Amino acid sequence: MSIIDAIKARSSNGIMTDTAVSLAHIKQLLDAAVCTPVHHNAKPWRFLVIQGAGRQTLSDIMVQHLDKRISDPKEPRNIALRQKLSQKAFRSPVIIAVAAAKPDGEKILMIENVASAVAACQNILLAAPELGLSAFWRTGSFMYAPDTVSALGFEGGAELVGLIYLGYPKREMRPKPRETSDPYVRWLE
Ligand SMILES: Cc1cc2nc3c(=O)[nH]c(=O)nc-3n(C[C@H](O)[C@H](O)[C@H](O)COP(=O)(O)O)c2cc1C
């Protein structure tokens, strides 16, 4: 498949089996992830591979973030919300938390480190199908809380850019119709 076809064929397939993903496959994806353009050779990509029982830690972080924001955890709506949220980390056997490191030196801007880490996320999404895997990108307000960044063991000042859920698809997805770029493009010539 051509790269353009692979890009067009990519889509988020959220229904995955709980079959563990091999270490070799995870490493292949991570090695592909770091093949991004990067300014000042900043090497800003940071990854935490969360799998198996480690998913409970992520689930707890999500629920604790919610708990700080709800006034009555016993309200039925909040009980349901908590329950739903507590299951999210278990949607796939592996979750790769991707962060951008804080710039080291004045020449490097955080936005550029974030840009490179975001490209790393897309590399994973595009590479996964070649290994028979599906992957999808999630965030959530909890991800942007400094508490979450440190609870997941990232260095100070790092910013999470994505949780990439990874696993074997239960079923194939039909290709999504993709739009053209026309409405989003202006030309200066
Ligand atoms: C930075 C970022 C964060 C996202 N976070 C979420 C999310 O938290 N929940 C969600 O339903 N979709 C989220 N999405 C969108 C999905 O990952 C997905 O790309 C979108 O639904 C379009 O579907 P497709 O990937 O099949 O084209 C996010 C996308 C990006 C780029």
Tell the residue nearest (CA) to atom 30 of ligand 1: 137
Q: What is the pLDDT of residues 97-155, one digit of tens each?
A: 999 999 998 899 999 999 999 999 999 999 999 999 999 999 999 999 999 999 999 99
**Total count of domains within the chain:** 1
In percent, how much of the chain has pLDDT > 90?
91
Q: Is 140 in the pocket of ligand 1 (CB under 6 A)?
A: yes
DSSP letter (8 states) at residue 68? T
pLDDT, average across residues 16-40: 97
Predicted TM-score (pTM) of the model is: 0.96
Does 164 reside within a domain? yes
The residue among 111, 167, 159 whose CA lies nearest residue 139 is 159
pLDDT of the residue at 136: 97
Q: Is 14 in the pocket of ligand 1 (CB under 6 A)?
A: no
pLDDT of the residue at 87: 97
Q: Is 136 in the pocket of ligand 1 (CB under 6 A)?
A: yes
Q: Is 138 in the pocket of ligand 1 (CB under 6 A)?
A: yes
Structural domain harbouring 40: 12-52+89-171
Under 8 Å CB-to-CB from 146, ≥6 apart: which residues?
Answer: none
Does 37 reside within a domain? yes
pLDDT at 34 over 90: yes
Q: How far is the CA of 189 from the centre of ligand 1 (A)?
A: 34
Across the chain, what does the average pLDDT equal? 96
pLDDT at 36 over 90: yes
pLDDT of the residue at 173: 81
Greatest distance between any 2 Cα atoms in the chain = 61
Which CATH number belongs to the domain containing residue 130 in this structure?
A: 3.40.109.10
Does 143 reside within a domain? yes
pLDDT of the residue at 74: 86
The residue among 109, 122, 131 whose CA lies nearest residue 38 is 109
Q: How far is the CA of 178 from the centre of ligand 1 (A)?
A: 15
Which carries the bigger pLDDT value, residue 175 or residue 129? Answer: 129
Does 77 reside within a domain? no
Residue located via tokens 């050779």:
41
pLDDT of the residue at 73: 82
Does 181 reside within a domain? no
pLDDT of the residue at 180: 96
Which carries the bigger pLDDT value, residue 25 or residue 13? Answer: 25
The residue among 113, 126, 128, 123 whose CA lies nearest residue 160 is 113
Q: Is 157 in the pocket of ligand 1 (CB under 6 A)?
A: no
Does 183 reside within a domain? no
- Please report, in angstroms and rounded to a whole number, the separation of the first and last CA atoms in the chain: 34
Pocket test for ligand 1, best of 138, 143, 163 (most atoms within 8 A of CB): 138
